[in-house]
Chains A and B, each alone.
Chain A
Amino acid sequence: MPDAPGLELIRGEIERDRPGSVLATSFDRDQAALLVDPEQVLAVLGWLRDEPGQGYRFLSSLHVADYLPAEPRFGVHYELLNRDRVERIRVKAMLADPGAEQLPEIDSCVGLFPTADAQEREAFDFFGIVFRGHPNLTRILMPDDYVGWPQRRDFPLGGEPVTFTYNERRYG
């Protein structure tokens, strides 16, 4: 990982080119993370990938975590890896839940990292996050007609009693 000073340097350089994009840095348990503004996440990812000194060209993982009850609740994580120096950096974009029937939106990074294709679909399937510009944003793991966003924290775990005779008599 870039160490803590290195992380601050990266932040400084990004801020110079795109002011206001990096909201915070965090260096916790030896892992570097940049908290960025969701509207400028593509710029930051592109900078980290293409800037000559940086070269984080490999997207290891794109995943979402639901930080409920903290607001904003959805954190979209991009785990980037620089294979030449073997350094990882995490880019986090926090999205708020617009409420009611609306879904949170963020730009899709499929153009920068084609590996994000299936991973963004998975994020959409489980959290209901819309990735603007994704070629085929449909459910990938749940059935196509499923209603609900299963891995959100307020979605119930589910499950139903097993068909034992005892249960049948009790639960009808």
Chain B
Amino acid sequence: MAELTADRTKEVMTVNIGPHHPATHGVLRLIVDLEGETVKEVTPVIGYVHTGIEKSCEDKSYWKVIPFIERMDYVSYFFQMEAYCGAVEKLIGLEIPPRAKYLRTIFLELNRIHSHLVWLGTTALDLGAISMLWYCFRERDRILDLFEMATGQRMHTRYFQVGGVIEDIPLGFEKKLAEFVAEMPVRVGQYEALLDNNEVFLQRTKGVGIVSRERLLELGVTGPLLRAAGEPWDLRKAVDHLVYPEMDFKIPVGTVGDNYDRYRVRVAEMVESTRIVEQALAALPDGPHISEDRKYVLPPRSELSTSMESLIHHFKLVTEGFRVEPGEVYNAIEGPRGELGCYVLADGSSKPARVHFRDPSFINLQAFRDMSVDTYVADMICSLGMLDPILGGVDR
């Protein structure tokens, strides 16, 4: 709605930053009311990559759901698997063995680093610091090499299963991981050297997009955005989950809550995640990598030729899947963007009756309006990058 006034400097122009735009981090559509270059109102329109994943999950047995849900937030796929498998394990009451817990933690933190690298590369690209993309993706490719070594796939690995992880790590993985862990802090130092004192970057991010802590909490925002505003809230520390209580790591917390703080918090998180991986790798215990309960977990293939019972279990699990007593559970973990929650409703059959994900990007996007009103368009793009929405999670 354009208002034509005699004073042309006050004219409000509605611009559609359409679903196809190099800076929207996915197919996000923004309808922006601009007065000159100042943003007066911004309305995000989402749904352009809505895939009906939650509905599809109702049609699949519990273990078949895993490849579906990991494609929601497509840079942090291990986290979706963890939220879902954790929820189903709570429903069943299944304990996962210690080695599986450590492996899960290692892969989750590697995925967190991966997610932050993708964020840093693309956001710096939006701000004009194009070389960051190449440096960040160089590390990202190393992490993906590690994933491929252990699971066979670079992305969407379906590595976590109900009861543990699907396969033990291969020989040589620990060595390669140790090399990566040793080098990663140096690389993060390189990224900081590129951006931290860059005058253009500082001018574009300092003091921009500030939203108060209380407002963020009202809007349900969690994750690095909340921590940058000064609230030390992290589910890894708040809730006893996997092996985080035994790890020694810090939570980076910002002060002002502007875009610069968000950047610093995430970069610091990368270093902390590397430390967690290092400690978990050193403390990795021996043992089974998945639960031994054959009612829910496939038996190892070596047993299939000797034990009739294993064969029957295998058959039942592959064809129908395991059944879960009726009940519902909400399992929340700390994803790279905030609280990732998975709600599973079981109705006694072998398929979940409802799977719903509380996706952090979906909730965080509500803070976008507060971050960009009364700033310039360029600041809005910067805020969008620092918000780090992943549209696959927003739209599910």
A94 to B341, CA, bound (A): 21
Q: Of the 9-residue stretches A4-12, A17-25, A28-36, A100-108, which lies at the interface with chain B?
A: A28-36
- Asked if B22 is at the interface (CB within 8 A of a chain A CB), the reply is no
- SS of B interface (majority): mixed
- Asked if A60 is at the interface (CB within 8 A of a chain B CB), the reply is yes
CB-CB < 8 A to A79: which residues of B?
330, 341, 343, 358
- Asked if B239 is at the interface (CB within 8 A of a chain A CB), the reply is yes
Let me know if B328 and A86 touch, CB within 8 A. no
Q: Of the 9-residue stretches B44-52, B154-162, B374-382, which lies at the interface with chain A?
A: B44-52
Let me know if B365 and A118 touch, CB within 8 A. yes
Q: Of the 9-residue stretches A37-45, A136-144, A163-171, which lies at the interface with chain B?
A: A136-144
Q: A60-B339, A113-B220 given as contacts; is B52 within 8 A of A65 (CB)?
A: no
Could you mark each residue 216-236 of chain B with 1 if its beta carbon is under 8 Å from any beta carbon of chain A, else 0? 011111000000000001000
Q: A63-B343, A65-B353 given as contacts; is B238 within 8 A of A86 (CB)?
A: yes
Q: A60-B341, A115-B220, A143-B47 given as contacts; is B356 within 8 A of A65 (CB)?
A: yes
A65 to B352, CA, bound (A): 11
**Residues 74 to 96 of chain A near chain B (Cβ within 8 Å):** 77, 79, 83, 86, 88, 90
CB-CB < 8 A to A61: which residues of B?
330, 341, 343, 356, 358
Q: A30-B90, A58-B217, A157-B56 given as contacts; is B50 within 8 A of A115 (CB)?
A: no
**Residues 244 to 276 of chain B near chain A (Cβ within 8 Å):** none
Let me know if A142 and B330 touch, CB within 8 A. no
- Asked if B54 is at the interface (CB within 8 A of a chain A CB), the reply is yes
Q: A31: nearest residue on chain B (CB-CB)?
A: B329
- Asked if B354 is at the interface (CB within 8 A of a chain A CB), the reply is yes
A143 to B220, CA, bound (A): 25
Let me know if B219 and A115 touch, CB within 8 A. yes
CB-CB < 8 A to B50: which residues of A?
141-142
A142 to B396, CA, bound (A): 11
Let me know if B47 and A114 touch, CB within 8 A. no
CB-CB < 8 A to B396: which residues of A?
141
Q: A61-B341, A65-B353, A77-B343 given as contacts; is B54 within 8 A of A151 (CB)?
A: yes
Let me know if B362 and A118 touch, CB within 8 A. yes
- Asked if A134 is at the interface (CB within 8 A of a chain B CB), the reply is no
Let me know if A158 and B52 touch, CB within 8 A. yes
**Residues 123 to 164 of chain A near chain B (Cβ within 8 Å):** 139-143, 150-151, 153, 155, 157-158
- Asked if B59 is at the interface (CB within 8 A of a chain A CB), the reply is yes
A59 to B50, CA, bound (A): 24
Q: A28-B327, A83-B233, A86-B239 given as contacts; is B356 within 8 A of A115 (CB)?
A: no
CB-CB < 8 A to A97: which residues of B?
none
Complex partner residue of A29 from B56, B93, B219, B221, CB under 8 angstroms: B93
Min CB–CB distance B391 → chain A (angstroms): 11
- Asked if B345 is at the interface (CB within 8 A of a chain A CB), the reply is yes
A111 to B91, CA, bound (A): 33
Let me know if B219 and A63 touch, CB within 8 A. no
A141 to B52, CA, bound (A): 10
A89 to B141, CA, bound (A): 41
Let me know if B358 and A115 touch, CB within 8 A. no
Min CB–CB distance B99 → chain A (angstroms): 24
Let me know if B91 and A29 touch, CB within 8 A. yes
- Asked if B55 is at the interface (CB within 8 A of a chain A CB), the reply is yes
For the complex with contacts A83-B233, A122-B362, 10 further pairs of A-B residues with Cβ separation under 8 Å are A29-B329, A60-B220, A63-B356, A65-B353, A65-B354, A65-B356, A79-B358, A140-B46, A153-B353, A155-B55
Q: Which 6 pairs, one residue from A and one from B, show the smallest C-beta to C-beta distance?
A: A115-B220, A61-B358, A141-B47, A65-B354, A141-B50, A63-B356
Write 24 A-B pairs (CB below 8 A) sorted by A numbering: A28-B328, A29-B91, A29-B327, A31-B330, A57-B217, A58-B217, A60-B330, A60-B339, A63-B343, A65-B343, A65-B353, A65-B356, A67-B345, A79-B330, A86-B239, A114-B220, A115-B221, A115-B366, A118-B365, A140-B46, A141-B395, A142-B47, A150-B55, A151-B55
A residues with a Cβ closer than 8 A to B are 28-31, 33, 57-61, 63, 65-67, 77, 79, 83, 86, 88, 90, 113-119, 122, 139-143, 150-151, 153, 155, 157-158
